[in-house]
Amino acid sequence: MNPFYITTPIYYVNDKPHIGHAYTTIACDIISRFNKLLNNDVYFLSGTDEHGQKVEKAAIEKNYSSQDFVDLMSENFRKIVPYLNCEINDFIRTTESRHKKASQALWMKLNDNNQIYLSNYEGWYSVRDEAFYSENELIKKEDDKFVAPSGASVEWVKEESYFFKLSEWENKLLDYYQSYPDSIKPKSRYNEVISFIKSGLKDLSISRTTFKWGVQVPNNEKHVMYVWIDALCNYLTSIGYPNEKKPEFIRYWPGIHFVGKDILRFHAVYWPAFLMAANLDPPKTIFAHGWWTNEGQKISKSIGNVIDPYDIIERYGLDQIRFFLFREVPFGNDGDFSKEAIIRRINSDLSNNLGNLIQRVCSFIKKNNNSQVENSFNFLEADKILLNLSLKKFENYKSYMKNYEIDKAIKEIFELLSLANIYVDNQEPWKLKKTDTQRMNVVLSVCVEIIRRSTIMLYPIIPNSSKKIFSILNLNIKDINFDNYDKFTKNKISIKDPFPIFPRIEIND
Ligand code: MSP
C-alpha cells in the first residue's frame, strides 16, 4: 500500500468554524476516501492553530484566559469533523505538549544549521492575517492609512526579533520548483509563487516579544515563536517529529497540503525553506483552492453574512452540500454560495438525474419483476455501448481525481447517468414486459449495474448517500471499492423498497 498523507490547514480558534473551513476539510476527505478506494494507505490530519496575537486578542475580548478560550473553541472544530462525515486520523492542537516539543526541536535544528540570527524588526504587521508586510505590498486608503492586500488593518511594529535567513533560499526554492513543477497546483498558483520568489526574498522575522501567547523560543524567555513557524510545524508533529526515525514519520513524510489561496505563500515559500533548512524534504504537493463568496459578497463577520455549516447542512442535507461545493466550482477557483445555485444543483443532478434513475429502475423492478433482477450477459449493442462507456468514464474519473479536478471527475459520472436515463427511455422496459421478459431482464440488469458503478465513483463525494443506494440494491457496503468496479458482484439482485434519497427542493423551501 502506498502512503498518502493529506492535511487541512489548522484553523484559528478565534471564532467558530464557517463554510470556508468546512470546504477544505471536505476537500481533503473526498481525496482521502478516493485514495482509500485506490488501496492507498491514507493518513489524514486536521486540527487547530491556537497561538498568536489574534487568538490572544479574541480571548481577552471574551474575558477568558487564553488557555480556557482555546480549550473551548478548539472543541467546535473537533466536533464539526464527524458532523461533516470526514474521517481524520489525528486532530492536532498547537497547544499540546507534543507540538511544543516538535516546534522547539525544529527551531533548534534551524539554529544548529545556522539559519537563525537575532536582530530588530521594524515594519508592518497585520494581526488578522498574522503576517508581516513590506510597504510596497500595502494598499493606501483614501484616508492615507495603509491596509494589507487582504483588507486587514496593519500596525507598525518595532521589536527585537529572531530572523530566519529566507534570502539564502531564493535560488534553492526556484531550482526545486523548476524540478518539481507539479508540486504546486493549480498551475496559475505555481506561477504566482515563482514570480513572488523571483521578486526577491527578504529574511523573515520569526519571533515576537510584545505578547506571550505562543511557543517559547528555546533559550530565550523574552521571545515567543512567530505563530506561522509554530503552526506549519504541526504537519510534522502529528507523525512523530522530532523523532525522524519513527515509522510513521518515515512512512508519511512528505505530505500533501490543501490550503486556501490566502495562505499559499506561507506554505509554498516559507515552509519548504524551513524544511530544507532543517534537512527535511519539502511537501509533496501544495494545492491552493479559491474562496467562497455569499450571494456575490465577500464573507465577513462585519458584513454579517458568515455561513454556518450547521445551518446550511440542516437545511439542504450534508451530501447535498458536499456535492454542491465540489460540483459547482472547479476546485481551485473562487465560487459563489447562492441559495438558487444550491437548489438548482441538487434538483438537476441529484434529484432529476441520479435520483430519477434509481427511482424509476428500482420501482419498476419492484412492481414488475418481483423486486428481483438476474444478471444476464446476452448483451445487445446498446448495452455494450453503455457498459463500455462506464469503463471509459471510470478511467477519466480516476485521472481527474488524481489531479484534484473534482468537478471534472463528478461531471464524468453525471454524463454516464444522463446516458443511462436515455438508455431506459430508448429500451422501454415497460414495453418489453409485455413482449420479451428476457430482454427486459437484461436491460434492468444493465441499469442496476450502471447505478452500482456510478455509486462507487460517487462514494468519496457523497458517502452516506452512496451507502443508502447500495442498501437499496441489497449490496454489501464493503463492495464499494474500485477492485469491484467492473465486476457484476451478484448473479441475482433483490431490490429493497426504493425511497427518495435526494428529494427535490422547491425554491422557497
Ligand atoms: N491558521 C491558519 C492556517 C495555518 S496552517 C499551518 C489559517 N487559519 S484560518 O482559520 O484563518 O483559515 C483556514 C482556512 O480557511 C484557509 O485555508 C482559508 O483559505 C480558508 N478559508 C477562510 N475563509 C474562506 C472562504 N470564504 N472560502 C474558502 N476558504 C476560506 O489561515
Rounded distance from Cα 101 to ligand 1 centre (Å): 25
User: Given 3-state DSSP classes, what are the helix, strand and coil percentages for the chain, each rounded to the nearest 5?
Assistant: 50, 15, 30
Distance (Å) from CA 174 to ligand 1 centroid: 26
Q: Answer yes or no: is pLDDT of 340 > 90.
A: yes
Kindly state if the Cβ of 10 falls inside 6 Å of ligand 1: yes
Ligand 1 contact, 17 CB (< 6 A): no
Predicted local distance difference test score (pLDDT) of residue 109: 98
pLDDT one-digit tens code per residue, 416-464: 999 999 999 999 999 999 999 999 999 999 999 999 999 999 999 999 9
**If you take atom 8 of ligand 1, which residue's CA is the nearest one?**
11
Residue nearest to atom 21 of ligand 1 (CA): 20
Distance 408 CA to ligand 1 centre (A): 24
Q: Report the nearest atom of ligand 1 relative to the CA of 231.
A: 6
Contact 439, 374 (CB under 8 A): no
Residue 53 binned pLDDT confidence (cut-offs 50, 70, 90) = very high
Nearest CA to ligand 1 atom 18: 260
Average pLDDT taken over every residue of the chain:
96
Q: Whose alpha carbon is nearest atom 11 of ligand 1?
A: 12
- Mean pLDDT over 56-65 rounds to 96
Task: State percent of the chain over pLDDT 90.
Answer: 92
pLDDT of residue 200: 95
Residue showing cell 437499496: 472
State the Cα angle at 126 between 133 and 183, rounded to 5°: 60
Arithmetic mean of pLDDT, 241-253: 98
Per-residue pLDDT reduced to its tens digit, 270-328: 999 999 999 999 999 999 999 999 988 988 877 889 999 999 999 999 999 999 999 99
Which atom of ligand 1 is closest in space to residue 262's alpha carbon?
19
Pocket test for ligand 1, best of 14, 15, 49 (most atoms within 8 A of CB): 49
- Average pLDDT of the residues in 12-19: 94
Residue 491 has pLDDT above 90, yes or no: no
Please tell me the pTM assigned to this model. 0.97
Average pLDDT of the residues in 225-247: 97
Q: Which atom of ligand 1 is nearest to the CA of 261?
A: 19
Q: Exposed, middle or buried: residue 330 (CB in 10 Å: 0-12, 13-18, 19+)?
A: middle
pLDDT (mean) for 117-136: 93
Beta-bridge mates of residue 119: 161
- pLDDT for 506: 85
